[in-house]
């Protein structure tokens, strides 16, 4: 995909009608690629607050890198059963080795497993770009902020769970 193609989906906003003033969510944030992950965190927390979740109901847990994100989500959900859902925020930039493939696959599989095991939405908000610039473009740059998209996905999954 060329640098000039892509979609700014962060223009989407949460359009659900459910009250989230009592919702409790956790954002598990990788400390690796901090410039990117902090921007994702800011986008996600902004979108959650806009949907009515009080700042005091947004829990942040930092982990060393993206590989540790699923374990961080597991720890949060085990420690606080009142947490309704989790967003994993990280960034793994393609390098010259297969390390990228192993990390991305492990994080995606771990994210799904934690969500299914806890029967709560765990959202994969991990960027997997080829370059630092592509990451910046998706963390508040020309393609929006994927942290916002992850927050909207979590809100919609909470709505689905609450409607059943």
Cα(38)–Cα(160) distance, integer angstroms: 28
Instruction: From the candidates 7, 20, 57, 99, give the one annotated as an active-site residue.
Output: 99
Is the distance from CB of 61 to CB of 96 less than 8 angstroms? no
Q: Is 20 helix (H, G, I), strand (E, B) or coil?
A: coil
Q: Determine whether 118 is an active site residue.
A: no
Cα(152)–Cα(49) distance, integer angstroms: 11
Instruction: Give the number of residues written for the chain.
Output: 164
Is the distance from CB of 86 to CB of 25 less than 8 angstroms? yes
Cα(85)–Cα(152) distance, integer angstroms: 12
Is the distance from CB of 37 to CB of 136 less than 8 angstroms? no
**Which sequence positions are flagged as catalytic?**
99
């Amino acid at each position: 995909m060329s640098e000039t193609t892509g979609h700014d989906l962060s223009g989407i906003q949460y359009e659900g009608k459910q009250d989230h003033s009592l919702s409790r969510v956790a954002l598990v944030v990788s400390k690796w690629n901090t410039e990117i992950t902090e921007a994702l965190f800011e986008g996600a927390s902004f979108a959650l607050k806009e949907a009515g979740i009080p700042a005091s109901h947004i829990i942040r847990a930092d982990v060393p890198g993206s590989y540790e994100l699923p374990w961080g989500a597991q720890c949060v959900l085990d420690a606080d059963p009142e947490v309704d859902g989790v967003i994993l925020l990280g960034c793994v930039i393609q390098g010259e080795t297969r390390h990228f493939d192993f990390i991305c696959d492990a994080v995606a599989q771990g994210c799904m497993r934690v969500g299914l095991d806890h029967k709560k939405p765990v959202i994969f908000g991990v960027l997997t770009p080829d370059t630092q610039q592509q990451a910046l473009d998706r963390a508040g740059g020309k393609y929006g902020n994927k942290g916002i998209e992850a927050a909207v996905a979590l809100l919609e999954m909470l709505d689905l769970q609450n409607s059943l």
